[in-house]
Structure 1
Amino acid sequence: MPTRAELPRSMGYEEQYSWTDDLPVCKQSGVGYSTNQIYREDGHRREEHPFEDTSFHCRVDDNTCLYGVFDGHNGVKTAKFALESLASEILLDTKLGKKTNDDEIREALVQAFVAVEKSYLESIDDRLAERTSLIYEIPEGIKPYEAYKSHPHVVEKLNSLNYELSCGTSAVIAYVTNGLLFVANVGDSRALLCKTDENGVLRVIQLSVDHDLSNEDELLRLYNLGLRFDNVFKGSRLGNQKNTRCLGNYLVKGAYKEFEELAAATSEPITAEPEIHGGIKLDSSCRFLLLMSYGLYKSLEEATGIDHDQVNKRIAEMVVKEFRVQSTLVGVAQAVVDKVVRIHHDMYMSGEERGQGSRDDMTLLLRNFNFPLPNALSSPSSPIVRFDSHPTVSELPMWAGTQSDKSEGDTTVTNSTENTTSSSGESYTAEKKANEKITPYVDFTEYYKNVELAKLEGTLPEGIEF
């Protein structure tokens, strides 16, 4: 794993490659996603903007995993920056790995978010200087229309720059270490922990906080900063966004005085400080964890008309249902996303316009702890097959891998050619299996009998030689 000094500092974030792409992927997780869509009567697909969600799911070692979903707005640049920087702050912090006290880990996660915010604002210093220079070119006190009439090129460039500087992201991360789960979030991406109670009933616990204007604690925080509720409630947005917390978006932070509803605040009203939950002991009752972007649960809310708690329950029910039929965790996550996409699309096309005629990007990250996946695929790696009178497979026999109840780390099932132990405990070695015939999986006696009979009757297909 690279050190901080080795990270590609000058790489543009529009590029596809990220150093986190080289991190080991957690095999007990999967991600499903769908891009945004504006609905058309003819059914053709049209995206409103490029995909702005991003995520990672990596396994550092047997005791440590990190997962994250980032829901960008006004571009994906900040989401990508936050993904790379948070991974760097958490995974490359050698001190964090040695912390065992819950309070110390929570504080370290808070400081990671603060450091990422500071780093991001430093990365746009040149754009901020350019913005200041453009503002000084427009006479003070002039109305927007007059400014555009007298300085059209300056205003157009300033508007373009303001859009770029308003790029921000919500973030929700899950940090698993030594059997404990910690969740940190800013914005409205969610984390749901699904666990069974003493009666075996699956319970859904939201571990994240929705930082928006429906959150009374956030409204109280804004009130204590001097914001009047009548100004805040004029619309559903604070400045140019809906969230009361985020990473990035300089305009509602350093330039918040330029927004009428935020100007009265005594300090920056939109903060990057996360809410932290944990450590939560991952025992056998913890079944799976879901991280999701706003677009997923909001689309289901709009399509069904259900409330906050019910939408969480409905998504968990969808996941459980897909566990029963899918063969991979990626398949489970993607099937749930696809189902929400279809439900929202069908609602709109039927004329029941509960929401807008569009939906946002969707991302669902699933981390399984010990929920059964009965149809999981298991097969030998690159088997060598030769057909004699009875087929012989020169490879280890097939068996279904089972998930471990150890929730603090990954369970990796490998098809080793050196030493492998089956589910029954019998050991196989390369020496033992060499030149050894095993009982055939399929008896071809009836097949060859029918071939000979077809030859006699002249009913064999033409062009096939036996």
Structure 2
Amino acid sequence: MLLRNTKPIPDQHKFQTTDSWTDALPVCKQSAVGSSTNQIYREDGSREEEHPFEDKSFHCIVNDSTYFYGVFDGHFGSKTATFALQRMAAEILLGELSGKSTDEEIKDVLRQAFFSVEKGYMDSIDSILAERASLLYEIPDGLSSYEAYEKYPREMERLDLLNCELSSGTSAVIALIHNGKLYVANVGNCRALLCKTDVNSVLRVVQLSVDHDLRNEDELLRLSQLGLNTDELKRGTVVGNQENTRCLGNFLVKGGYREFQSLSSATSEPVIAEPEILGGIVIDESCRCLLLMSDGLYKSLEEATSSDQVNKDIAQLVVSEFRVQSTLTGVAQAVVDKTVRVHHDFAMSVSGSVSVSKRDDITLLIRNFNFALPNAKQSPINPTVRFNPHVDAQTMNTLTSVNNSIINSIDTTISNSFQSDQTDPDTDPDPDHIDANQLTNNNNRRIPSYVDFSLYFKNVEIAKQNGTLPPGIDFD
């Protein structure tokens, strides 16, 4: 059999679909996505893409106890990534979690979802496989590529197109939060990182996914046990026609693996769809945020900086953007944009034997747990605030508690007890009208009294004279 070119073709967009039923799912407001299309670097600086955007993602809320997230990094088009996104969400969300409570039960649901998506996709390409088999039957065995193209040009051109479509596959990483626990499953080299603080309040980064590629010693061992020459695979840097040792889709490195010389000696399919699964991790106060990403993010940063701790670098970028951005989407997109800029600058600066000619698609999904957005806009830009003069009655055991509550109210006024007001502060006659910037620019200034306590002290004095003053209040 002849295995022809499987490189993406210029008109591959005809295999892509844009509509997805997952678009109708309620979006999780505690999450956001940043992305950037791939780029071929040109000396004149012009923007040029190698292929249409192939990453897909979703971030949805099912109910108060169930959230679902996913990033899919397609290759040879977005056909498989789109299929996997839709089918994966259906497999997980449409009743499969009902009655499942233990970690093992939920992990089994995730595992079976990957297998169902794989089977469903392979079933969906039956007509393409049939046409390809018919074309191969028409071309005699033993012909060189040159001879085949010379004698059967129409058949060979069509075969190239079919091989390209059959090569469509995707890496995938999904995260399920169910009943306060986190579960992560992946195939390929999309990553999941959990940022959390340790007992000393130091932020730590934990990789929850497994990179299924030729840098993974466990995967090399698995391939070796199938009879493959792993040294040869590493020299070629690919498994058949892709980098990953696991994926969804890509029939050519699965059912058609024997057509690749480097894979032909395998005793069974070398590229599999079985996911790595981790969970359930209890979501507690130490969990700050979850990051799901396509490999374009960490590989671009790795290549540009030669960092050997790229997960930490990404986490630091995220933390720095939480401090300055006003929205979660702004955080995710800013991290992507900074990575793109760093990689572009690196590519434009290298010379000689080092050559960086392009960058892959990038997707970053952030699920926030406990990170604050200090610059989040709660009202129109540059708002002024008015203190709410209403004071709820509380039982106070000591005068110290009263004083502390007043001090604390000053610190928490903006978040807990203000009313937005768009009036120009320069013309507002209300003496209680205070510019929010004044609260932060001069922390030591004396704040004018805004609550009249004279009635309170009068009643305290009466209670003292009547002997009904609660114990513990000491005015001395």
TM-score range, shorter chain: 0.7 to 0.9
2:328 matches 1:345: no
Contact 1:262 1:269 in 2 (8 A): yes
CA distance in 2: counterparts of 1:224 and 1:345, whole angstroms: 40
Q: Does 1:366 align with 2:349?
A: no
Instruction: State the SS of the aligned residue for 1:251.
Output: helix
Once the two structures are superposed, residues 204-262 of structure 1 have per-residue CA deviations (whole angstroms, 9 ceiling, x without a partner) of: 00000000001000011111112122432331001000100000000000000000111
Give the deviation of 1:97 after TM superposition: 3.3
Query: Which residue is equivalent to 2:328?
Result: 329
Q: Partner of 2:364: helix, strand, or coil?
A: strand
Counterpart residue number, 2:356: 356
Is the Cα contact below 8 Å between 2:54 and 2:361 reproduced in 1? Answer: yes
Give TM-score scaled by structure 1 length.
0.79
Q: Residues 30 and 358 from structure 1, CA distance in 2 versus in 1: closer, same or farther, beyond 3 angstroms?
A: same
Question: What residue in structure 2 maps to residue 296 of structure 1?
Answer: 297
Residue 149, structure 1, aligned to residue 132, structure 2: no
Q: Is the 8 A contact 2:16 2:77 kept in 1?
A: no
Corresponding residue number in structure 2 for 1:29: 31
**Conserved in 1, the CA contact under 8 Å of 2:38 and 2:49?**
yes
Deviation at 1:349, TM superposition (A): 1.0
Equivalent in the alignment of 2:425: 442
Q: SS of 1:97's equivalent?
A: coil
Cα distance in 1, alignment partners of residues 262 and 341 from structure 2 = 37
Matched, 1:183 2:193: no
- Residue of 34, 38, 52 corresponding to 1:50: 52
Structure 1 residues 355 and 286: alpha-carbon distance in aligned structure 2, compared to 1, 3 A threshold: farther
Aligned to 2:460: none
Cα deviation code 1:330-360 (max 9, x no counterpart):
0000000000000001111112585521100
In 1, the alpha carbon distance for the partners of 2:222 and 2:57 equals: 29
Contact 1:222/1:269 (<8 A) preserved = yes
Give the conservation status (yes or no) of the 8 Å contact 2:91–2:113: yes
What's the CA shift string for 1:364-391, capped at 9, x where partnerless? 00000011111112138xxxxxxxxxx9
- What is aligned with 2:454? none
Are 1:15 and 2:14 counterparts?
Answer: no
Name 2:111's counterpart in structure 1.
110
Question: What TM-score results when the alignment is normalised by the length of structure 2?
Answer: 0.78
- The answer to whether the 8 A contact 2:71-2:294 is kept is yes
> Displacement of 1:445 after TM fit?
5.7
- 1:339–1:139 CA distance, 2 compared to 1 (3 A): same
For 1:30-179, what aligned pairs fall within 5 Å after superposition? 30-92=32-94, 94-179=95-180
* Greater radius of gyration (CA): 2
In structure 2, the partner of 1:464 is none
Distance in structure 2 (CA, Å) of the matches to 1:354 and 1:374: 42
The change in CA–CA distance for 1:445 and 1:365 in structure 2 (over 3 A counts) is closer
Deviation at 1:306, TM superposition (A): 1.0
Check whether the contact 2:238–2:244 (CA below 8 A) recurs between aligned residues: yes
C-alpha deviation, 1:14, in angstroms: 2.6
1:189-204 correspondence to structure 2 within 5 Å: 189-204=190-205
**1:233-244 to 2 correspondences below 5 Å:** 233-244=234-245
Change (3 A) 1:152 1:95: closer
Gap change, CA 1:41 and 1:283, over 3 Å in 2:
same
Unaligned 5+ runs, structure 2: 1-13, 390-413, 430-476
Q: Deviations over 1:149-193 (max 9, x none)?
A: 111110111011101100000000000001100000000000000
Which residue does the alignment assign to 2:11? none
* C-alpha distance in structure 1 between counterparts of 2:285 and 2:40, whole Å: 43
**TM-aligned CA distance change 1:355 to 1:96, over 3 Å:** farther
CA offset at residue 148 of structure 1? 1.1
AA aligned to 2:171 is: S
CA contact (8 A) 2:17 2:79 kept: no
Q: Distance in 2 between matches of 1:229 and 1:260?
A: 13
Distance in 2 of aligned mates of 1:152 and 1:445: 81
Q: Residue 140 of structure 1: CA displacement?
A: 1.6
- Tell me if structure 1 keeps the 8 A contact 2:17–2:82: no
User: Using a 3 Å threshold, how does the CA distance of structure 1 residues 337 and 423 change in structure 2: closer, same or farther?
Assistant: closer
Deviations 1:87-132 (A, max 9, x none): 000011x242321110111111010000000000000000000000
User: 1:439–1:244: structure 2 CA closer, same or farther, 3 Å change rule?
Assistant: closer
CA offset at residue 438 of structure 1? 9.0
**Which residue number corresponds to residue 212 of structure 1?**
213
C-alpha distance in structure 1 between counterparts of 2:20 and 2:354, whole Å: 38
SS, match of residue 193 in structure 1: strand
Q: Contact 1:58–1:66 (CA<8 Å) still a contact in 2?
A: yes
1 CA distance for matches of 2:32 and 2:164? 33
- CA contact 2:237–2:243 (8 Å) conserved in 1: yes
Query: Which amino acid in the other structure matches residue 255 of structure 1?
Result: G
Q: 1:377: which partner in 2?
A: 377
Amino acid at match of 1:253: K
CA shift digits 1:49-81 (9 cap, x unpaired): 100001000011110000000000000010000
Identical-residue share of aligned pairs (%)? 64
Letter in 1 for 2:358: S
Q: Give distance in 1, aligned partners of 2:220 and 2:192.
A: 22
Native 8 Å contact 1:13 1:81 kept in 2? no
The separation in 1 between residues aligned to 2:102 and 2:163, in whole angstroms, is 42
Give me the whole-angstrom Cα distance separating, in 2, the residues matched to 1:40 and 1:50.
Answer: 18
Matched to 1:35, the amino acid is T
SS at match of 1:237: coil
Once the 2 structures are TM-superposed, how far is the Cα of residue 442 of structure 1 from its aligned partner?
Answer: 3.3
Do 2:57 and 2:70's aligned partners in 1 also have CA atoms closer than 8 Å?
Answer: yes
| Inter-partner Cα distance in structure 1 for 2:233 and 2:112 | 29
Paired residues for 1:273-288 under 5 Å? 273-288=274-289
Q: Secondary structure at the match of 2:97?
A: helix
Alignment correspondent of 2:447? none
Alignment root-mean-square deviation, CA: 2.5
Find the aligned partners of 1:337 and 1:439 in 2 and give their Cα distance: 34
Q: What secondary structure sits across from 1:234 in the alignment?
A: helix
Cα distance in 1 for residues equivalent to 2:368 and 2:421: 35
Contact 1:302/1:355, CA 8 A, preserved across alignment: no
| Post-superposition offset of 1:25 | 0.4
